[in-house]
């Protein structure tokens, strides 16, 4: 990170994340709006952003609830999306030190962006992860609060095309993964399972069933 050999500091991590701030602010706002439409109180939305701190899973859970899906379907689809954090957390494990409690709380700052920034020099840097993670965390939680208070004033979110906007969000989030053949094949199978099951089972269940397509990863 710093070319002249001075040690990297937490403030370098904050600085590294500055170019990214628009994303979390806009997504935090829109998560708040969607959560409100899904029947979550402002408090529930803010607590979710503060504890889960992972955009795609939060959007998935809220969209299942907004469609009238079950609690179990909402939890399973969000949790599956967050499974990737097990891998990211293991990869970055060696930079955390101190007591178990300290490692636990610091590891909560792992989110796609902070993780990617902290590893971009080829080895993980603790100050970048913590600095970037802190900035993103504060922005994410505060913009969720603003979004869920504004959300109530917007009227029916579907009149504004919000349902299509979230489809576009998921599509944009999926796109970077769809460069590898295996991922494309699994995505096509998942899409087909979902399409077939939508008319047959309650909302949310098609998502859980579609996750079976991940087992295509077992092929050699």
Partner 1 sequence: MSDAWIVVIAVGALTMVFKAAGPVFLGDRQLPARAQSVVDLVAPVMLTALVVTQTLGGDEKIVVDARIPGVAAAAVAIWRGAPIFVAMLIAALVTALVRVVL
Binding residues for partner 1 restricted to 15-54, rule: CB under 8 A? 22-23, 26-27, 30, 38-41, 44, 47-48, 50-54
Return the structure tokens found at 21. Answer: 């701030």
Query: Which structure tokens are listed for 122?
Result: 């080829």
- The answer to whether residue 150 forms part of the interface with partner 1 (CB under 8 A) is no
By CB under 8 A, residue 154 contacts partner 1: no
- Smallest separation, CB 164 to partner 1 (Å): 3
Residues of span 199-218 touching partner 1 by CB under 8 A:
199-203, 206-207, 210-211, 213-218
Q: Is 10 in the site for partner 1 (CB under 8 A)?
A: no
Q: Please tell me whether residue 116 binds partner 1 under the rule CB under 8 A.
A: no
Residue 124 contacts residue 92 (beta carbons within 8 Å): yes
Closest alpha carbon to 183 in 173, 195, 174: 174
Question: In this structure, are residues 154 and 46 in contact, taking their beta carbons and an 8 Å threshold?
Answer: no
By rule CB under 8 A, what count of residues binds partner 1?
103
Answer yes or no whether residue 161 interacts with partner 1 by CB under 8 A: yes
Q: Pick from 110, 128, 135, 145: which binds partner 1 (CB under 8 A)?
A: 110
Q: Which residue is listed with tokens 């806009």?
A: 26
* Cα 179–chain centre separation: 20
Nearest approach in angstroms of CB 76 to partner 1 is: 10
Q: Which residue has the tokens 């937490």?
A: 10
- Binding flag, residue 142, partner 1 (CB under 8 A): no
* 8 A C-beta contact, residue 193 and residue 210: yes
């Amino acid at each position: 990170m710093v070319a002249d050999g001075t040690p990297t500091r937490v403030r370098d991590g904050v600085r590294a994340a500055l170019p990214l701030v628009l994303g979390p602010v806009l997504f935090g706002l829109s998560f708040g709006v969607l959560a409100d439409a899904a029947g979550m109180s402002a408090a529930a939305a803010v607590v979710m952003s503060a504890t889960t701190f992972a955009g795609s899973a939060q959007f998935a859970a809220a969209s299942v609830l907004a469609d009238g899906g079950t609690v179990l379907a909402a939890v399973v689809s969000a949790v599956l999306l967050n499974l990737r954090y097990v891998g990211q957390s293991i990869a970055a494990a060696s930079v955390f030190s101190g007591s178990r409690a300290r490692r636990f709380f610091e590891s909560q700052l792992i989110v796609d962006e902070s993780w990617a920034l902290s590893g971009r020099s080829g080895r993980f840097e603790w100050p970048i992860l913590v600095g970037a993670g802190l900035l993103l965390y504060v922005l994410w939680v505060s913009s969720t609060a603003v979004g869920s208070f504004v959300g109530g004033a917007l009227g029916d979110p579907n009149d504004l095309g919000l349902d299509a906007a979230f489809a576009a969000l998921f599509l944009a989030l999926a796109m970077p993964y769809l460069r590898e053949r295996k991922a494309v094949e699994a995505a096509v199978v998942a899409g087909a399972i979902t399409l077939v099951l939508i008319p047959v089972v309650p909302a949310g269940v098609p998502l859980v069933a579609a996750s079976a397509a991940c087992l295509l990863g077992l092929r050699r």
